[in-house]
Structure 1
Amino acid sequence: MMAIDTLIPATMSSSPAPCSRSWSISEDSLRRYVQFASESCIQELLAASVTNKGNGNDGWKVLTLENGVEISKRRSDSLHTFRSRWVLRSVSPQQFITVANAIDAAKQWDSDLVEARYIKDLEDNLSIIRLRFGDNSKPLFRNREFIVYERRETMEDGTLVVAVASLPKEIAAGLHPKQSNAIRGLLLQSGWVVEKLEDDSCVVTYVVQLDPAGWLPKCFVNRFNTKLVMIIENLKKLAQACPSEGEI
């Protein structure tokens, strides 16, 4: 990461117009906007994590179910939203989130990422982050950058949720001007829902819908989304190597 009205996928048949405006807003206004927008993201993530028992009534279509990993997609406007679900044995929710939120280690589970850094912390659980993919990234990632918020919440039942989505382009431009050689993409919805199981294992649901911007055929955009869903395999390996709370 949820589908925020102000973050509409760009038309893919032509190059999007560059952002010519930027908004300078106060930190308090930015905080209130992100709190409001991220609440919608969290509810969308929680809804996506609910098992539909294969009845298909919620619009999710299973693409593959192999080795305990389910990958599904659901049509949303002109793009698809992708969902990966996985039971991680002997990995606690906190172990997984510790790895998933380790921004300095992000390149270990996404080889196309060249930079991930915090721009601003709005609250203990609310941050603004810049993600950048460089010249040597794969064609779908090359020279893309994203200005996103990240909100981290623990639900009453202990479920951990991390919601991530792009800021509106005018707000993003005011916080961090776009580099001349970069294309600013839109992360329309993304995030994790991590549910605890009785045996100190967890169920992870990862949802992503992304418009990388620039002129790209829709099939390539969808491959971009699929690739992002697959990074859960790398995260699993890192989480299994992360010390549990009892070992720290």
Structure 2
Amino acid sequence: MPMRAGNANDGWKVLPLDNGVEISKRRSESLHTFPSRWLLRSVSSQQFITVANAIETAKQWDSDLVEARYIKDLEDNLSIIRLRFGDNSKPFFRNREFIVYERRETMEDGTLVVAVASLPKEMAAGLYPKQNNAISGLLLQSGWVVEKLEDVHACMVTYVVQLDPAGWLPKCFVNRLNTKLVMIIENLKKLGRACPIDGQR
């Protein structure tokens, strides 16, 4: 499956592109959207989904996380999650907590779509009162698209994050976020390769 190339007409700018990795950026007013797309070899879609959905091990693939926990399951495919980042996390995430919903849908062709976004503040406060020293963060949009390929031992993963930094985003922050996107998928790839499936050991 070919990688999607950046197109100046639709506002996307491709940042790094190497070894099957593509990260793009688009700005619309104050909103910044960062999708990264990866061709993962030696990791099946099932292996990736297994490790990406294991929230209890989320700190293994995002070192900035201090806590990740399910608050409530609303439906079989809809959950409320609390994410907390510590004082040493990267800017925008530093000392932030996010109360988000996660919805999971599997398409007819086996593609998994996972959508994550912050709950409205009033609803989040009713489900989980804000901690005294934490700052409520706003995650407008995040999520995964995991596509099966003809090679059953590989998959295509798209990871999207949309932020509202309320103004200009410094170049150094963009670079840090790019690095964070790369490291998250790289860590998930390593965990996925170590994950046994279909009775394999």
| TM-score, L = length of structure 2 | 0.88
Which structure shows the higher strand fraction? 2
What is the aligned counterpart of 1:78 among 8, 13, 30?
A: 30
Q: List per-residue Cα deviations over 1:204-239 (Å, max 9, x = no partner).
A: 0000013478xx962165456434422111111111
Percent identity over paired residues:
79
Opposite residue 75 of structure 1, the aligned amino acid is R
Question: Aligned-pair distance for 1:136?
Answer: 3.6
Equivalent residue, structure 1, for 2:138: 186
What is the CA–CA distance in structure 2 between the aligned matches of 1:57 and 1:97, rounded to whole Å?
Answer: 33
Runs of at least 5 residues in structure 2 that lack an aligned partner in the other structure? none
- SS of the residue 1:218 aligns to: coil
- Match of 1:164, SS state, is strand
SS in 1 for 2:89: coil
Q: What letter is aligned with 1:72? A: S
Contact 2:101 2:119 in 1 (8 A): yes
Match of 1:118 in 2: 70
Gaps of at least 5 residues in structure 1 are 1-49
1:239 aligns with 2:192: yes
Q: CA deviation at 1:174?
A: 1.4
Question: Could you report, residue by residue, the CA deviation over 1:170-193 in whole angstroms, capped at 9, with x for unpaired residues?
Answer: 111111111121100011110000
CA RMSD across the alignment: 2.2
The one-letter code of the counterpart of 1:114 is V
Greater alpha carbon shift after TM alignment, 138-147 vs 70-79:
138-147
The within-5 A match list for 1:76-225 is: 76-200=28-152, 201-211=154-164, 218-219=169-170, 222-223=174-175, 225=177
Q: Which moved more, 1:131-140 or 1:218-227?
A: 218-227
Q: 1:224 to 1:211 in 2, by over 3 A?
A: farther
Q: Could you tell me whether the CA contact under 8 Å between 1:185 and 1:212 is conserved in 2?
A: no
Q: Secondary structure at the match of 1:180?
A: coil
Amino acid at match of 1:135: D
**Inter-partner Cα distance in structure 2 for 1:212 and 1:101:** 27
Query: What amino acid sits opposite 1:197 in the alignment?
Result: L
Tell me which of the two structures has the higher relative contact order, counting C-alpha pairs closer than 8 angstroms and 6 or more residues apart: 1
**Alpha-carbon distance in structure 2 between the residues aligned to 1:228 and 1:76:** 22
Pair 1:205–1:138, CA change in 2 (3 A): closer
- CA drift of 1:80 comes to 1.6
The amino acid that maps onto 2:196 is P
Q: In 2 relative to 1, CA 193–139 (structure 1 residues): closer, same or farther, beyond 3 Å?
A: closer
CA apart distance, 1:52: 4.3
Residue 10 of structure 2 aligns to a residue whose secondary structure is coil
Number of residue pairs aligned between Structure 1 and Structure 2: 197
Over 6 Å off, 4+ runs: none
Q: Is the alpha carbon distance of 1:99 and 1:227 closer, same or farther for their aligned partners in structure 2, counting shifts above 3 Å?
A: same
Distance (whole Å) between structure 1 residues aligned to residue 73 and residue 115 of structure 2: 15
Q: Could you say which structure has the higher helix fraction?
A: 1
